[in-house]
């Protein structure tokens, strides 16, 4: 039986067929494909923070979880005023994903944070965000424009990530926010050429990894080992439950 990997869902208006601007829960197909190819069974987790016991109920049915990319995390979640360039806060999604993340950490459920999910991981450990990298470094390195990937190499300096991604790998990047203060208990395991933090891990957990880039967009290339490692950890977690 394939381990069940949750994918946190975007919550936003979307359009399809004759329908325009309809409320929708969705996730990019690249995450579904990456998990499936790695041997997992992908399950979409809608943001339902108003449901009593939402996080516990969702996590009880999962063997691992991916916190995906998306809009900027609301700055209120780490005690800061919003930067003029920040996206409007998606309070519902922030609340749901932080609840899922903290619940996964409590269970030692294998988790992977991607871009926004990487930033949430840092916040859950008490860290903060740099709300606009372009204020201090060349922002085009990380996101040349909305809707277009930027690419740059990453320097991998340790942790589980060093077993999965060769240092110097060129990655897919699309963000303008990064890490401010690193959360207590997290280890920095990768940097961009401008020293922006690109990888974070909790070495005390079975599998707790966050990357600022988008490994799902690498297809079966450099991103595949990250998803295989998540699925393998999820299979081990499932075996302990059985």
Domains of the chain: 4-9+21-241 (3.40.50.880)
DSSP 175: -
- Is 115 in the active site? yes
Q: How does pLDDT run across 127-180, given as a tens digit for each residue?
A: 999 999 989 898 788 998 899 999 999 999 999 999 999 999 999 999 999 999
Angle at 156 between CA 147 and CA 107, to 5 degrees: 85
* pLDDT attached to residue 235: 98
How confident is the model at residue 242, as a pLDDT?
65
Round to whole Å and give the CA distance between 14 and 165.
34
pLDDT above 70 as % of the chain: 98
Which member of 97, 115, 142, 172 is catalytic? 115
208 a catalytic residue: no
Residue 66: closest CA among 20, 14, 120, 12: 120
What is the spatial distance between Cα 188 and Cα 207, in angstroms, rounded to a whole number? Answer: 15
186 in helix, strand or coil?
Answer: coil
The full DSSP string for 104-167 is HHHHT--EEEETHHHHHHHHHTT--EES-GGGTS-GGGT-SBTTB-EEEE-EE-STTHHHHS-T
pLDDT number for residue 221: 64
Check: CB of residue 4 under 8 Å from CB of residue 38: no
Q: pTM for the whole thing?
A: 0.96
For residue 202, what are the contacts with CB-CB under 8 A and spacing of at least 6? 105, 125, 185, 186, 187, 208
pLDDT for position 241: 78
d(CA 86, CA 168): 30
Q: What pLDDT is attached to residue 167?
A: 96
Any catalytic annotation for residue 216?
yes
Helix, coil or strand: residue 86: coil
Does the pLDDT of residue 220 top 70, yes or no?
A: no
SS3 label, residue 191: strand
The partner residues of 24 in beta bridges, in order of sequence, read 12
Catalytic residue among 97, 198, 201, 216: 216
Active-site choice (142, 174, 175, 214)? 214
At 218, the pLDDT band (50, 70, 90 cuts) reads confident
pLDDT per residue over 17-56, tens digit each? 999 999 999 999 999 999 999 999 999 999 999 999 999 9
Say what angle helices 29-37 and 224-241 make with each other, to 10 degrees.
Answer: 70
Q: Which residue has the tokens 């990250």?
A: 226
Strand 111-114 to strand 10-16: parallel, antiparallel, or no bridges (unpaired)? unpaired
DSSP per-residue codes, 17-73: TTEEEEEEEE--HHHHHHHHHTT-EEEEE---TTSTTHHHHHHHT-SEEEE---SPP
């Amino acid at each position: 039986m394939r381990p069940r990997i949750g994918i946190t869902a975007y919550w936003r208006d979307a359009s399809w067929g004759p329908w325009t601007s309809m409320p929708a829960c969705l996730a990019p197909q690249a995450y579904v494909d990456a998990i499936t190819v790695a041997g997992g069974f992908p399950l979409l987790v809608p943001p339902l923070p108003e449901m009593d016991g939402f996080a516990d109920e969702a996590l009880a049915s999962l063997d691992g979880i991916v916190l995906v990319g998306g809009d900027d995390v609301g700055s209120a979640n780490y005690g800061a005023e919003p930067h003029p360039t920040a996206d409007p806060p998606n309070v519902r999604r922030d609340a749901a994903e932080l609840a899922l993340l903290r619940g996964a950490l409590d269970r030692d459920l294998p988790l992977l944070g991607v871009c926004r999910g990487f930033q949430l991981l840092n916040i859950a450990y008490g860290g903060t965000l740099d709300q606009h990298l372009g204020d201090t470094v060349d922002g085009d390195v990380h996101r040349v424009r909305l809707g277009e990937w930027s690419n740059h190499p990453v320097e991998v300096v340790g942790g589980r990530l060093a077993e999965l991604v060769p240092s110097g790998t060129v990655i897919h990047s699309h963000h303008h926010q990064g890490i401010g203060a690193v959360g207590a208990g997290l280890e920095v395991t990768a940097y961009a050429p401008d020293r922006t933090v690109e990888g974070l891990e909790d070495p005390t957990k079975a599998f707790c990894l966050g990357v600022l880039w988008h490994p799902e967009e690498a297809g079966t290339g450099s991103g595949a080992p990250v998803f295989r490692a998540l699925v393998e950890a999820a299979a081990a977690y499932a075996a302990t439950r059985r």
